Structure 1
Amino acid sequence: MSNEQTIEKKTFEVTKELIDNLVSLINEKRVVEINNTLHALHPSDAAEVLSNLPEKARFNLLLLEALDLRPDTVKELNNTLQKDILNQLPTDNVAEIVNQLESDDALQIVSNLDEEKKIDVYEKIPLQDKKLLEEVLKAYPEDSAARIMQTEYCSVSPEWTVGETIDYLRETDDLPKEFLQIFIVDDKKRPLGSVPSSRVLRNPRSTKMKDIMDETQMLIYGDWDKEQVGYLFEQYNLISAGVVDKNNKLIGMITADDILTVLKEEAEEDALKLAGVQDEAITDNAVKITKKRFVWLLINLFTAVIASYVIGLFDGNIQKVVALAVLMPIVASMGGNAATQTLTVTVRLIATKELTAENLFKIIGKEFSVGFLNGVLFSLISGLFVYFWFYEIKLSILIAVSMVINMACAGLSGIAIPVVLDKFKIDPAIASTVFVTTVTDVVGFVSFLGLAGIILGI
């Protein structure tokens, strides 16, 4: 009989029982038990619990004086909730959180504070940390590489030996908690190369650092967009990379865990933008969400009016043959779905920089061909379906021809529209869906209802 045991690991779930228990503790102001409950969870799980608390319970929770929110829990909160919580917490608590976090997380915390609260917090953190935070916030935009970097890093002279480097690592407190790369810099802090920390441990103490360093290194400028940085990490399988200013002076480093967060946020953002939804959090109330969604729904209303106007141009044909009104949504719907498939692929290609000037026309031709071939296949299927429904061969021919036209146009518009928008510096993930849907609706209705007059003789 085997002594091996299978250990089943389950992902954390926020249960109604857990939330109800925590709400009861909040109502009874049993702060010690609240702290114990939250501290027993992983910081990410504790943040998820806070996100799922009813708004009133969360407000009352933050009023408890002895509440002990761990810094690692606060940094895991989404931006909206983090802002609400930080600006409600006492200044001393926020300053303590900032002081315990590494610079990249501290920067995120400070950037989410109201100006008045930020000034109060600055008075309670070390002067050196305050200067670093202020410098990055003022010099670099919100979505830049510098905003996700750690200002703590390990750098040594190329003339140092392995022994001197190891002694420095042991004796110096002002270093990152974890790092895999040691930067070799000149006297002006300009990177000359880097050495993996494992290589330092495996070489004799007398070896010079310049003799074991990698001269080829990937450096990132602080003003680069963080999405571009994410692409570089993914493209070159980076674990960490140094960040330099415009004078090539080393100012920090970015690690893979930060990039995972960036890639996740960008993927979620693009997916939401394709549906005309952005910056929504589970903690947002109905009014706030309504405001965010209203604009794109309004644009959709205008494009729907355009499609309806096109239908109105052929109202005489529809009145003569009622079957046209029954069948025309099929053509428009198939074109819309085909275009959305192409659109989704195109937005991904643009985001990952796989769509270039060299392969653009090749991919456009391929997507047009895919749309045309799908159109041919579905024209046969829909043509047979319509024939056995209405027993009218001319209706079958009509829907078959219009299906080919609309799906071919869908393939073309699904790639052409996001490419054109990107050319004009308009985010294709936001604006493409509305335009593509309008094109496929209009082309579908015009081809179907326009050909009806020719094929059916009406």
Structure 2
Amino acid sequence: MTHTTNRPMQTRPGLHPAPSHDEETFDLAPEFVQDIRAALDDPDRATEVREQVLGLHYADAADLIERLDEGHRTALLALLKGQFNPEILPELDDAIRDLVLDAFGYADFAALVAELDSDDAVYLIDHLDATERAAVLDRLPDADRAVIEQGLSYTEYSAGRLMQRELVAVPSYWTVADAIDWLHGAAAGLPEEFTELFVVDPRHRPLGLVRLSSLLRAPRQGRLDSLMDTGPEPVSVDMDQEEIALLFRRRDLLSAPVTDRAGRLVGRITIDDVVDVIDEEAEDDMLRLAGLSETGTYADAFATARTRILWLTVNLGTAMLVSSVIGLFEATLEKLVALAVLMPMVSSLGGNAGTQTLTAAVRGLATRDLSAANAWGQVGKELMVGLMNGVVLALLAGGAAWLWYADLPLAGVVSAAMLMNMIVAALVGMGVPLALEKVGVDPAVASSVFVTMMTDMLGFLAVLGLATLFLL
């Protein structure tokens, strides 16, 4: 499998120039997208549109395809059929990629997949449903199919799924001259892009790597084993992609060898794939904190609603629990109606403070900056933060209550409740994700629901309980 080369930039007189980026953003200019839409409506301008789109970087072309409405998208795909850049496919949203498959058919789609690097090919096939996957695999050359099926056999989100099979491996006893001469002779079979040679022993186990920059600077008689960098540790095919991202971040790696269970070199992971992993993991954590799962911008309303209803139902249950706490103090509310106005202020600020602490805790767990070794120190720090912020907000909230109702005892109750809730927010914001991590549950999945419930419930309990004790 090889990448197709990027096509040269072209500009036609009927359209805005394709280089549509400005100094602040890398998005396509809206004027360019609008011009493409207008040109697609004119059959006489089909050649202009085709050449203009073929001149775009594949990521920009994918962006353009996603921005078009269904009719213009179908027209553009028809124009590009036979000249479609395969590298566009991994950049597309899953729903839009399915439309490409429908427009091109299984045979043409398989031909595009066969031109991609193995990691991109595995990614695409993995995102097809069972029927589509089988149909595309049946139309691939045997060698490409074997590579993809092997990639799919590895655990999801593992190095085996992420790695590229295309690499350059050389024996340790070779000289620089041997390596350069072999590279010249094998040029047609080399990966399109590579920056290192992996040095292996006779059993094909990685010993280290030689950067091309080091190779070209070294004397021709020098041995590769004297030039190689043994620093990048091999990554097992079973290593989780989050661990890989952490390894690359901490060691500042550009690439790393991947070994099978017998320790043999089977692939490589490069920094561009790790950047995608970091982006995906960050997006996934952000969605999970909000109780969402990924459906994509282009998913229909029913699919999106279905993914959101579960946690909304859980939220309904926690809201009923919070309401039951308020119900215990109906008599207090009947006598002190002002509490109904002031309670949301206390619970809202507690919820926001808890979310701040929760976000910091989840990030710390994800980056391994927060662990059992330093958990108590971080809990103490967050308690101190909660205390300091609580004092400031208690004075402000109490002052507001006194100005509104000219009732000093009421202001004191609000101040005390605010301080208590801020301390509680720090405790639960740090404690909930740590507890979930301890029992093996992803803290990003359920933490926000429980933190919100506890800060609301304890905030109302503090206000109403203190009011019952001191104001009635």
TM bin, normalised by shorter chain, reads over 0.9
Question: 2:257·2:265 contact (CA, 8 Å) conserved in 1?
Answer: yes
Correspondence 1:170 to 2:187: no
Describe the superposition over 1:152-183 as per-residue Cα deviations: whole angstroms up to 9, x where unpaired: 11111111111010112122133222222211
Q: Which residue pairs with 1:324 in the alignment?
A: 339
CA displacement at 1:56 relative to structure 2: 4.4
Correspondence 1:141 to 2:155: yes
Partner amino acid for 1:107? V
Q: Which residue pairs with 2:462 in the alignment?
A: 447
Q: Which residue pairs with 1:352 in the alignment?
A: 367
Correspondence 1:367 to 2:362: no
Question: 1:162·1:205 contact (CA, 8 Å) conserved in 2?
Answer: yes
**How far apart are the structure 2 equivalents of 1:202 and 1:22?**
48
**Cα pair distance change 1:254/1:413, threshold 3 Å:** same
Deviation larger for 436-445 or 19-28: 19-28
**Cα pair distance change 1:288/1:57, threshold 3 Å:** farther
**How far apart are the structure 1 equivalents of 2:80 and 2:180?**
44
**Cα pair distance change 1:298/1:218, threshold 3 Å:** same
CA displacement at 1:319 relative to structure 2: 0.6
Deviation larger for 266-275 or 211-220: 211-220
Correspondence 1:98 to 2:116: no
Q: Which residue pairs with 2:396 in the alignment?
A: 381
Q: Which residue pairs with 1:4 in the alignment?
A: none
Question: 1:87·1:113 contact (CA, 8 Å) conserved in 2?
Answer: no
**How far apart are the structure 1 equivalents of 2:94 and 2:140?**
22
**Cα pair distance change 1:284/1:180, threshold 3 Å:** same
Equivalences for residues 327-346 of structure 1 within 5 A: 327-346=342-361
**How far apart are the structure 2 equivalents of 1:288 and 1:334?**
33
Instruction: State the SS of the aligned residue for 1:75.
Output: helix
CA displacement at 1:272 relative to structure 2: 1.6
CA displacement at 1:362 relative to structure 2: 0.8
CA displacement at 1:127 relative to structure 2: 2.3
Partner amino acid for 2:208? G
Equivalences for residues 53-64 of structure 1 within 5 A: 53-59=68-74, 61-62=76-77
Equivalences for residues 134-283 of structure 1 within 5 A: 134-138=149-153, 140-172=154-186, 173-283=188-298
CA displacement at 1:300 relative to structure 2: 1.2
RMSD: 2.1
Q: Which residue pairs with 1:392 in the alignment?
A: 407
Question: 1:152·1:174 contact (CA, 8 Å) conserved in 2?
Answer: no
Instruction: State the SS of the aligned residue for 1:254.
Output: strand
Question: 2:173·2:223 contact (CA, 8 Å) conserved in 1?
Answer: yes
Partner amino acid for 2:395? L
**Cα pair distance change 1:120/1:446, threshold 3 Å:** closer
1:414 to 429, 451, 454: 429
Question: 2:50·2:80 contact (CA, 8 Å) conserved in 1?
Answer: no
Q: Which residue pairs with 1:78 in the alignment?
A: 93
**How far apart are the structure 2 equivalents of 1:361 and 1:73?**
48
**How far apart are the structure 2 equivalents of 1:65 and 1:392?**
74
CA displacement at 1:311 relative to structure 2: 0.8
Describe the superposition over 1:367-388 as per-residue Cα deviations: whole angstroms up to 9, x where unpaired: 1221122111211111122112
Partner amino acid for 2:160? A
Partner amino acid for 1:299? V
CA displacement at 1:228 relative to structure 2: 1.1
Describe the superposition over 1:85-117 as per-residue Cα deviations: whole angstroms up to 9, x where unpaired: 235422232122122211111222222334444
CA displacement at 1:305 relative to structure 2: 1.2
Instruction: Mark the runs of 5 or more structure 2 residues left unpaired by the alignment.
Output: 1-20
**Cα pair distance change 1:88/1:421, threshold 3 Å:** farther
**Cα pair distance change 1:395/1:441, threshold 3 Å:** same
CA displacement at 1:16 relative to structure 2: 5.3
**How far apart are the structure 2 equivalents of 1:294 and 1:203?**
62
Instruction: State the SS of the aligned residue for 2:91.
Output: coil
CA displacement at 1:389 relative to structure 2: 1.6
Partner amino acid for 1:158? S
**How far apart are the structure 1 equivalents of 2:230 and 2:22?**
46
**How far apart are the structure 2 equivalents of 1:184 and 1:65?**
42
Describe the superposition over 1:12-57 as per-residue Cα deviations: whole angstroms up to 9, x where unpaired: 4445554454445555666544422321322111111111222344
1:41 to 30, 33, 56: 56
2:320 to 302, 305, 315: 305
Partner amino acid for 2:100? I
**Cα pair distance change 1:55/1:426, threshold 3 Å:** farther
**Cα pair distance change 1:114/1:64, threshold 3 Å:** farther
Moved over 6 A (4+): none
Describe the superposition over 1:255-275 as per-residue Cα deviations: whole angstroms up to 9, x where unpaired: 111111111111111112111
Identity %: 39
